[in-house]
Amino acid sequence: MKNVFALVLMTVLISALTVTTHGANRFARASGDWNSPDIWAPSAHGRTGKSVPVAGDHVTINNGVTVIVTAGAACATLTFGDDDGAAVVSIHPGITLDVCGAVTLPRANSGINSLNVGAGFLNAGSIAFTNGGGTNRHQVTISTGTASICGNVSQKGSSGSATIAFTGPGRFRVGGTFLTPATGTVLPAGDCTVEYKGAAQTVEAFSYANLALSGSGVKTMAAATTIGGVLSIGAGTSINLGTFMHMADQLSLGGVGQTATGYWGSTASTASNKNATYFGTTATGRVLIAAALPVELTSFTASVTKGCVTLNWKTAAEVNNYGFEVEKNVNGAWNKMGFVPGAGTTNAPQQYSFIDNTASAGKSSYRLKQVDRDGAYEYSSSIEVTNAVAPAEFSLGNYPNPFNPSTTVTFSVPANGETTLKVFNVMGQEVATLFNGAAEAGKAYEAQFSATNLSTGLYFSRLENNGSMLISKMLLVK
């Protein structure tokens, strides 16, 4: 894949995603929205109504329960029940579920345990299909979304039932070992893509619709690996096709060489060393040569000055880089804080920074979402910073802005006292009161403003404290 963070950070990301955490246990005992406390309990048979899982919590989905992820969500591990009845997690289109560690997907006694990525996004440390059998009763499904697994995708138990089912042009990315035909089944359909993105990996002997190879090390094709569509080779990636060693930008097959972006023939090519075992038997197969450099992130750090968090990061080289979205983990969900434009295409080192002046006292986590000009993107590993002192100033803002349908309003006051935070429309009519009470000087506050029932347009937040007032603009775009 042409847009991959440098693999020098891959080991950092994998270790970060596989670290053992000591969060709370959360059991989904009733069907409903992931972000509703009404479905969660502290034990398999406990009373519901507990808090929604956050990034450090260990989540179990009981059998017979369906959980819908309608807003960004995170947890340390995700385990499905192994009893009667399907345990299901479905991610809404465009929504991301982050699992820092392992997803454990056992075979259900009846029904099918399913992790439905759909048109959403899944980031996980690993996936383990367990308690396998001869019938598919545990699966990951993808339509147009992306599942990105930093570590291994494996099956334990009897063979033949682990299924990754595509129903559209989605993408499944794996950084470690992958299922083999002897231990599972991959069912590609449409224009789907499987990407091997780690270091040295064996490309298992499935029939792939499209196959993408990226990262460092040599990718070795297993016997009888077939590709019906496009084989995409990332810059700096080497592939061993039995008797051939192919490297991006230095690809030569049958005397037909490519040193820039382009294609090498098809199965109809007259090249003497064309091998239909790897490229299928129709004229649709071809090799896509990636002539681009990756966006090479070399460092990502955070520091605190006077209660504000400053993020700094560097790149060694960039290609087609539109920029970086800065995200902050708030109550277990990643939210966009701002955007920093990129340098486009360059092999010169670049430096970037972003200041979060809304940081609260305590620990905060941040990550970067690097976005290409064609809309493709990649997440960095997250970093954590401790803010011992909150900003003691009169401040008011919100993120994201523009927003739809909700935004987080942040504020702080310079003196203790009665404080109000209200929202008005352009006609001066009050539409919401977000805070009304005593506020402490130097403490950073956050309030949620939901505009689900309001019309697109400009709104104003007004903060009053001890006779002083601040007003900030907010743009709702539906």
Q: How far apart are CA 357 and CA 364, in angstroms?
A: 12
Q: Comparing C-alpha atoms, which of 154, 138, 107, 100 is closest to residue 122?
A: 100
Q: How far apart are CA 362 and CA 257, in angstroms?
A: 57
The CATH number fitting domain 395-476, selected from 3.60.10.10, 3.90.1150.10, 2.60.40.3080, 3.40.50.620: 2.60.40.3080
73-90 tens-digit pLDDT: 999 999 999 888 899 999
> Has this prediction a pTM greater than 0.85?
no
Q: Per-domain residue ranges for the chain?
A: 1-198, 296-387, 395-476
Residue 423 has pLDDT above 60, yes or no: yes
- Work out the average pLDDT over 227-252: 59
135 near 161, Cβ under 8 Å?
yes
Helices (H) and strands (E) in the chain, counts: 2, 44
Q: Comparing C-alpha atoms, which of 37, 31, 130, 23 is closest to residue 79?
A: 130
Q: What pLDDT band is residue 55 in, cutting at 50, 70 and 90?
A: confident
Q: How far apart are CA 65 and CA 33, in angstroms?
A: 11
* Average pLDDT value for the chain: 78
Calculate the CA dihedral of residues 321, 322, 323, 328 and round it to 10 degrees.
-110
- Strands (E) located in 306-374: 308-330, 333-346, 350-356, 362-372
Amino acid at 56: G
Amino acid at 170: G
Residues across the chain: 478
Q: Does this chain's domain 296-387 share its CATH topology with 395-476?
A: yes
What is the fold, at CATH topology level, of the domain defined by 296-387? Immunoglobulin-like (2.60.40)
270-329 tens-digit pLDDT: 433 333 333 433 333 445 444 444 677 888 999 887 778 899 999 987 877 889 999 998
Query: What's the Cα-to-Cα distance from 219 to each of 68, 77, 195, 211, 303, rounded to whole Å?
Result: 36, 29, 11, 12, 39
Residue 251 has pLDDT above 80, yes or no: no
Q: How far apart are CA 467 and CA 461, in angstroms?
A: 16
